[in-house]
Chain A
Amino acid sequence: KQEVTQIPAALSVPEGENLVLNCSFTDSAIYNLQWFRQDPGKGLTSLLLIQSSQREQTSGRLNASLDKSSGRSTLYIAASQPGDSATYLCAVPHSNYQLIWGAGTKLIIKP
């Protein structure tokens, strides 16, 4: 059974730092992996979708990598800003494309 784990559960860093969020999964036979962010009281916004054939995807200051063999994905945020404060979630699909979710990393960027 697929399990998805995110470490750390919470992270607080000063503005301007580069940081890495981690997502691990137990079954390497994944189709893809998707990263989301959720602001307090808001919905989920898709950040990056990495297909199983890809090793990384980039969008602006965000870069997500995927290593299926080690069961890991990382989300790299460059030059963090207070507006990056949110909860970051990773998820992988299984049957009928239902998502298996990590518990999330709550990120706080201090001005």
Chain B
Amino acid sequence: DAGITQSPRHKVTETGTPVTLRCHQTENHRYMYWYRQDPGHGLRLIHYSYGVKDTDKGEVSDGYSVSRSKTEDFLLTLESATSSQTSVYFCAITEVIGANYYGYTFGSGTRLTVV
């Protein structure tokens, strides 16, 4: 795709364990976002980043943390996974330079199952 990859693609984990999902981009975009998608809820923003070490919470941030130590990587950590965090997780990137807005590009998603 347009230089954004998510890993792993699928993961099954046990309740109570920490889990880290990775989003890697090669576009040098400042803005990165983590979403979850569940039936009946659409896409909900978890956390986002507007630069290295600059992050903020979205609408469903409880139980999640993020880190961005370099432009290309945005990590999402489930501190202690619960069954309610079973979901499909999408990463997205965008950039704005002057008046030019590049639009969103999404990764292929990570399907996480917490058992």
Residue of B nearest to A34 (CB): B103
Task: Please determine whether A98 and B48 come into contact, CB atoms closer than 8 angstroms.
Answer: yes
Interface of A is mostly: strand
Residues of B within 8 A of A45 (CB): 106
Question: On chain A, which size bracket covers the interface?
Answer: 20 to 34
User: Which one of B56, B90, B104 has the highest number of Cβ atoms from chain A below 10 Å of its Cβ?
Assistant: B104
Task: Please determine whether B58 and A98 come into contact, CB atoms closer than 8 angstroms.
Answer: yes
Residue of A nearest to B33 (CB): A98
Residues of A within 8 A of B45 (CB): 98-99
Given contacts A96-B31, A98-B33, contact A43 B103 (CB under 8 A): no
Residues of A within 8 A of B77 (CB): none
Residue of B nearest to A35 (CB): B103
Task: Please determine whether A93 and B101 come into contact, CB atoms closer than 8 angstroms.
Answer: yes
Given contacts A96-B31, A103-B42, contact A32 B101 (CB under 8 A): yes
Residue of B nearest to A53 (CB): B99
Residues of A within 8 A of B105 (CB): 46
User: Shortest Cβ distance from B91 into chain A, in angstroms?
Assistant: 10
Q: Give the residue of B31, B33, B101, B109 whose beta carbon is less than 8 angstroms from that of A43.
A: B109
Q: Give the residue of B33, B50, B104, B108 whose beta carbon is less than 8 angstroms from that of A46.
A: B104
A-B contact pairs, 22 of them (CB 8 A): A32-B103, A34-B103, A34-B104, A42-B109, A43-B90, A43-B109, A46-B103, A46-B104, A46-B105, A46-B106, A49-B103, A51-B101, A96-B48, A97-B94, A97-B96, A97-B101, A98-B33, A98-B58, A99-B43, A99-B45, A101-B43, A104-B42
Contacts beyond the supplied A34-B104, A43-B108, A96-B48: 20 A-B pairs with Cβ under 8 Å: A32-B101, A36-B104, A42-B108, A43-B106, A44-B90, A46-B104, A46-B105, A46-B106, A51-B101, A91-B104, A93-B94, A93-B101, A96-B31, A96-B50, A97-B31, A97-B101, A98-B48, A98-B58, A99-B45, A104-B42
